[in-house]
Every structure is written in C-alpha cells, then in structure tokens.
C-alpha cells in the first residue's frame, strides 16, 4: 500500500470536513445576524443566542479538523519506520492500521485502513512495537506483519 497516496487521500477527506464545518459556521453566523427584532424581544435574544451557540460548536469542529490536518501535514510521507509511531502504516493480522489521526475506517486502494490516533487505546498498543510483535485488538491477540 502506498503511504504517500493514503496520506493525500486522508488530507482530502479532512479538507472536505473543513469546508463543511466552515459553511455550517458561516450559516449559523448568518442566521444569528439575520434574526429580525420583533416585539417579542426575548424571542429575538433567544434565537440570536442559539445561532451563536451553533456557530461556536461548528467553530470547535472546524478547529479540531484543522488540527488533525496539521498532524497529517507533519507526517513524513516517505519516512520509513521500523517501529509503531505516529506516521506508521501497519499491516497486521487484524487488517491495516495507520497511526495518525482518528478518522476511523477509511476505504483506500480496495482495502480498509483504520486511521487511529497515537493516544487512542489501539494506537497506544502499537507504539514502540516492531514487526512480529503481538498486540490486543477487540479482545483478541494479533500480530504486526509489516510496518512502513
């Protein structure tokens, strides 16, 4: 599996999420700004507050995805790794894992890759491990076949 192409694919997924979060954030802001003041002042203030809360939620989502994109940008695409670490693509008896950001299951190159954060339980179980090492996943023992 080509790690460089996988990283580019994942960057595209994150870029799509960034656009969705940005548009939702703008829509929430526009909605809050467009609330016309009526004789029911409390209703106006409540609607405006709800719009601001929505905008804040989407802004947090945007920032989280932006930070994940930064992590992917920092991963050395051509860097060959011999141990489990951020940026390692692992072929295991349980399938493919990519220690990067928590994107979950990603379909790439007709294979399923599970993108995990190094701070997730399964990501932590890979850190420092070499080819041939055992790890626990879904309450079963599995083996690392290859690391790139």
- List pLDDT tens digits, range 91-146: 999 999 999 999 999 999 999 999 999 999 999 999 999 999 999 888 889 999 99
- List pLDDT tens digits, range 50-95: 777 888 888 999 999 999 999 999 997 556 789 999 999 999 999 9
Residue 96 and residue 1 in contact, taking contact as beta carbons nearer than 8 Å: yes
The residue with greater pLDDT, 39 or 4, is: 4
At residue 110, the pLDDT reads 95
Residue 143 and residue 127 in contact, taking contact as beta carbons nearer than 8 Å: no
Instruction: Name which of 7, 24, 16, 23 is nearest 100 in CA terms.
Output: 7
Residue 75 and residue 8 in contact, taking contact as beta carbons nearer than 8 Å: no
- In terms of DSSP H, where are the helices of 35-147? 41-74, 121-126
């Amino acid at each position: 599996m080509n790690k460089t192409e996988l990283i580019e694919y994942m960057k595209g997924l994150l870029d799509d999420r960034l656009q969705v979060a940005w548009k939702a954030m703008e829509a929430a802001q526009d909605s809050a700004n467009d609330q016309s003041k009526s004789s029911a002042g409390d209703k106006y203030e409540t609607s405006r507050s709800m719009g601001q809360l929505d905008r804040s939620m989407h802004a947090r989502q945007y920032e989280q995805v932006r930070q994940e994109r930064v992590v992917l940008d920092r991963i050395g695409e051509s860097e060959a790794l011999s141990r489990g670490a951020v940026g390692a693509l692992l072929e295991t008896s349980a399938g493919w894992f990519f220690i990067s950001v928590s994107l979950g299951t990603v379909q790439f190159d007709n294979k399923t890759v599970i993108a995990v954060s190094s701070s997730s339980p399964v990501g932590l179980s890979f850190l420092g491990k070499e080819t041939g090492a055992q790890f626990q996943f879904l309450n079963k023992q599995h083996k690392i076949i290859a690391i790139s």
